[in-house]
Amino acid sequence: MHTKNISELAAGLRAGEYSSVELTRHFLERIRRLDGGLNSFISVCEDAALAMARAADERLQRGGAGPLTGIPIAHKDIFCTQGLKTSCGSRMLDNFIAPYDATVVERLKRAGAVTLGKTNMDEFAMGSSNETSFYGPVRNPWDGDAVPGGSSGGSAAAVAARLTPAATGTDTGGSIRQPAALCGVTGLKPTYGRVSRYGMIAFASSLDQGGPMTASAADAALVLQAMAGFDERDSTSAEQPVPDYGAELEHDLAGLRIGLPREYFGEGLDAAVAESVEEAVGEYRRLGAEVVDISLPNTHLAVPAYYVVAPAECSSNLARFDGVRYGHRCEDPKNLEDLYKRSRAGGFGDEVKRRILIGTYALSAGYYDAYYLKAQRIRHLISDDFKHAFDRVDVIMGPTTPGTAFRIGERTDDPVSMYLSDIYTIAANLAGLPGISIPVAPVDGKPVGLQIIGNYFAEARLLNVAHKYQQVTDWHTKAPEGYL
C-alpha cells in the first residue's frame, strides 16, 4: 500500500479493498520498523490515529467522502495539534501540549486525513540540515550518513521512505523545497498568505509559509486543496479564491515560457547538478515550452538580506519563551532576571541563540537603519527583479540546491556554508512568491531537485508544470533501497 499515490489509496478505500484502519496500521507498522534509523518522527500518536481512521471508515461507509478521507498524513512539529506535544524540535517546548489545532491541522482533519504523528525538524525551523533538533538529527533515507535538509527534514525523510503518503512542512527560506530536493520528493511553498499561519509557531512572520510535501505534484494538489484559503484568525492570510488545483493539472505546456536566470547557473553550482537540471529543462522543451534567458541581478544579495530580516523577526517572536507561562523553566530561580536567563539559556540550542543575538543586534538603536532597514530595501529590489522577469516569462526554473545532500556534521562548524545551502530558495520567500521542487535525474545515487518559481497565487500553474514533467519521467516514483 505504501507504494501507491494518494489518488490510488483513496480509490482503494472507496472500493473497499482495505479500510482506513488497515491503511493506518500499515503505515504505523512501517514507522515502528523503519524510523529507528531515520529519526524522522518526534512523536507518533497511534491511538489517536486509529480513532481518526475509524471515524474515516464510518464516513466512507456513509458516502460523500473526499479525496483525503482516511488518508494518513504527518505534521511538522511546528503546527499546534490539540492534545499532542508540539515541540518545534526544541527543549524549550519539550513539555508543551497544544490546547488547540493550527488551521492547517484543523482543515486536514475536516478533509478526513488521519494524523500519524509529528515529524522532526530543525529547532524552531532554524537550520538547513535538520541537525539542530533537540531530538537529534534526521538521516536521509537515500544515504544514512547524509542530512535530509531542513528545516522540514523529518517530513521530507518520512515521505521519501514511504512512512507516510504526505506530510506538512513550513518554508521560511527554503525549508520545504530544499529538503524535498535532497530527499527526492515534491515540496511546494505556496504564495505568502495562501495557507493560514494560525497555530504555526512563528520563526519569521513575514517569511513563514506552510505547504505540502508529497511524492508527486498530483498528490501535492490534493493536500494543498485542503490546506489553502483565507482564515480570519490570521492577519497575514490572503483573501483570495482557491482554484481547483486538480482540475488544472492536465493543461498543455505548449507555449509555456520558462525563464532560466543566469545567476542560478554560475559559480557554486555543482556541475553534475547543473547537468541534471538542464536535462530536465530539455524535457520541457520537448513538451512544447519555450526557454528564455533572464537575469535576476540582485540574487547575490538574497542571503545577506535574509540573514538580517529573519533573525530580526525571530528575536521578537521568541521573546515570549521566558519560562514564565509555558515551556522550559529553570530550577530554583533566584529572581525574575535569573529565571529569564537560565530558562532561555537552557531551553534554546546554539543556532537559535545565534540568530536571536544577530536579530537583536540588527534591531538595536543605532543599527536598525544600517542593517534591518537596508535589508528591507534590498528585499524590494529582489521583488522588483521577479516582477520584471514575469513580464517576460510564465515560470522561472533552476536548481533547488547547489549540490546534493552533504554528510551529517560536515557543516555544523561553518554556519555561512550551511546558510548557502538555501542560496536559490531564499529569494522567493523575500518576495513572497510560490515555488515547488520536484525530483529530476539523481547524481551518484543522490536526489537532485528542480525548482520552479511562479508569480503570485500561481500555485495551480506550478502544479500543472510539475505534473506534466512527472507524467513523462519517473524520478518521483523512486524510493530509496530498503524502504520499498
**Domains, the chain, ordered by start:** 6-256+459-477 (3.90.1300.10)
Picking from 113, 159, 165, 116, the residue whose alpha carbon sits closest to that of residue 8 is: 165
Tally the residues of the chain: 484
Give the C-alpha separation, 263 to 453, whole Å. 14
pLDDT in tens, 156-168: 999 999 999 999 9
Return d(Cα 415, Cα 353) in angstroms, integer: 13
Instruction: For residues 434 and 436, give the distance between their C-alpha atoms in angstroms, rounded to a whole number.
Output: 7
Per-residue pLDDT band for 192 (boundaries 50, 70, 90) equals very high
Cα–Cα distance measured from residue 76 to residue 99, given in angstroms and rounded to the nearest whole number: 17
- Catalytic residue, candidates 19, 20, 40, 76: 76
Tell me, yes or no, if 205 is annotated catalytic. Answer: no
pTM over 0.95: yes
Residue identified by cell 489509496 is 9
Q: Are strands 435-443 and 290-294 parallel, antiparallel or unpaired?
A: unpaired
User: Is 155 annotated as catalytic?
Assistant: no
At residue 483, the pLDDT reads 94
Summarised one tens digit per residue, pLDDT across range 340-391 is 999 999 999 999 999 999 999 999 988 999 999 999 999 999 999 999 999 9
The residue annotated as part of the active site, out of 175, 216, 237, 315, is 175
Write out 251-292 in H/E/C secondary structure: CCCCCCEEEEEHHHHCCCCCHHHHHHHHHHHHHHHHCCCEEE
Indicate if 133 belongs to the active site.
Answer: no
Calpha distance 416→264 (Å, rounded): 19
Written as one string, the DSSP assignment of 282-325 is HHHHHTT-EEEEE--TTGGGHHHHHHHHHHHHHHHHGGG-SSSS
CA distances in angstroms from 84 to 24, 115, 465, listed in the order given? 18, 11, 37
Tell me: the pLDDT tens digits for 87-116? 999 999 999 999 999 999 999 999 999 999
Distance in angstroms (rounded) separating the CA atoms of residues 198 and 339: 29
| From 151, 196, 276, 315, the catalytic residue | 151
Q: Specify which residues 85 forms β-bridges with.
A: 97
- Residue 474, C-beta contacts closer than 8 angstroms, at least 6 positions apart: none
List phi, psi (to 5°) of 79. -95, 125
The reported pLDDT for the residue numbered 418 is 87
Cell 519517473 -> residue: 474
**How many Å separate Cα 330 from the centre of its chain?**
32
Helix or strand (DSSP H, E) at 395: strand 395-399
The tens digit of pLDDT for each residue in 49-73 reads 999 999 999 999 998 899 999 999 9
